[in-house]
Chain A
C-alpha cells in the first residue's frame, strides 16, 4: 500500500507544462450498507482522500479500513478482525478515470453525469469497477457522488458459515464528496 501513497502524492504534486486543474479532498464520505434477514449492517467513513486530475480524468480515492464507524462496537470489531482483516490490509483504494470530465463546466452551476471506469483494491484483491457518478457544480463548490455494489466473495471476504445464509453477500457502497478543493490551476 506504500505504492498507493506514492501514487496519490505523484498525482497531487506533479505539474507539467500544460494547463491543468486538480481537485482534492480529505473529508469525503463512504457509506456501506447491507440488508438481510438477520440484521442490517451500515458503516460510515468520513475521511475519504481523493485526488482528481480534470485534464486527464484520472481519479483516486482511498480510505483506511479502521476508519469505518459502526453503530455497534461488536460489529466494528468483527468487521476489522474477521472480515476485512484491517491489520493486514489497512487501506482500500480506487483508481480510475472519469471518461467525460471535459463535459463539466467549472465556471457555472451545472450537474453532469459522468462515466467512471477503474479498479478497486480491497483485502488484497483488485477488481474492475464501472459505474456512473454525478458531479454537481454549484456556487463554485464542486461536489461528487457515486454508488455501486460489490460482491464480498470477489474480494475473498469470507462470511462465517453459521451466518452465511443470513447476511447479504452484496454490499451497497455510496460515496459522497461534499466539497472538492482546488489544488492547482495554471
Chain B
C-alpha cells in the first residue's frame, strides 16, 4: 500500500513537472519564423491588390491571417531602423501596393535588391489599409526553386 502511494506520488510529480514545463514553454513561445512554412497562396501582387480593392470582406476570408507568397517589382524599400524594413511590391502608378514588413530575423537578404527588381516574398496577411499588409515577411530565393 505504501509502495503504491509512493508510485502514485512519483507519477503525480512527473505529470506536474510535465505540465509546468509545457506551460512555461507555451508562455515563452516566440511568434513563428515562417521561413519553413508553406504559403496558402502563391500569387502575383496584382491578384491580392485587386482582390482587396474589389471586395475587402471576401479578400479577408481568403487571405487574412494566412501565409501568402507574393511576386512583383519593388517600388520602394523603406528602412526605419536596421531591423524595421518595409518592402513595397506593385505598380508604381497605383496608390495600392503590397507592403511587406520583413521579419527582423530575415532582413539581411534585402541588401541585394533595389527598386525595380523583381522579388518574391511570403508573409502573414494582416489586412488592407491603403496597401495590402504582410508581416513577418521572408524573401524567397527563387533561384533555389
Contact = CB atoms under 8 A, between A and B. Distances in A.
Interface in A2-19: 2, 5, 8-9, 12
Interface string B47-71: 0000000001000100011000000
A9 B126 CA distance: 20
A130 B60 CA distance: 33
Contact of B129 (A29, A62, A71): A62
A84 to B, nearest CB: 13
Contact of A69 (B31, B32, B129): B31
Interface in B3-49: 26-32
A66 B27 CA distance: 20
Given A27-B80, A47-B129, A49-B129, A70 B99 contact: no
A35 interface: no
B29 A73 contact: yes
Interface of A: 2, 5, 8-9, 12, 26-27, 29, 46-47, 49, 62-64, 66-67, 69-74, 76, 87, 90-91, 178
A145 B32 CA distance: 31
Contacts of B135: 47, 66-67, 69
A175 B135 CA distance: 19
Given A64-B129, A64-B133, A71-B30, 15 more contacts: A2-B56, A12-B130, A26-B130, A27-B86, A46-B80, A46-B101, A47-B99, A47-B135, A66-B135, A69-B31, A72-B27, A72-B30, A74-B27, A76-B31, A91-B127
A90 B30 contact: no
24 contacts: A2-B56, A5-B56, A8-B129, A8-B130, A9-B95, A26-B86, A26-B99, A27-B78, A27-B80, A47-B99, A47-B126, A47-B135, A64-B128, A66-B65, A66-B135, A67-B127, A67-B135, A69-B136, A72-B28, A73-B32, A74-B27, A74-B29, A91-B127, A91-B129
A66 B134 CA distance: 10
B131 interface: yes
B110 interface: no
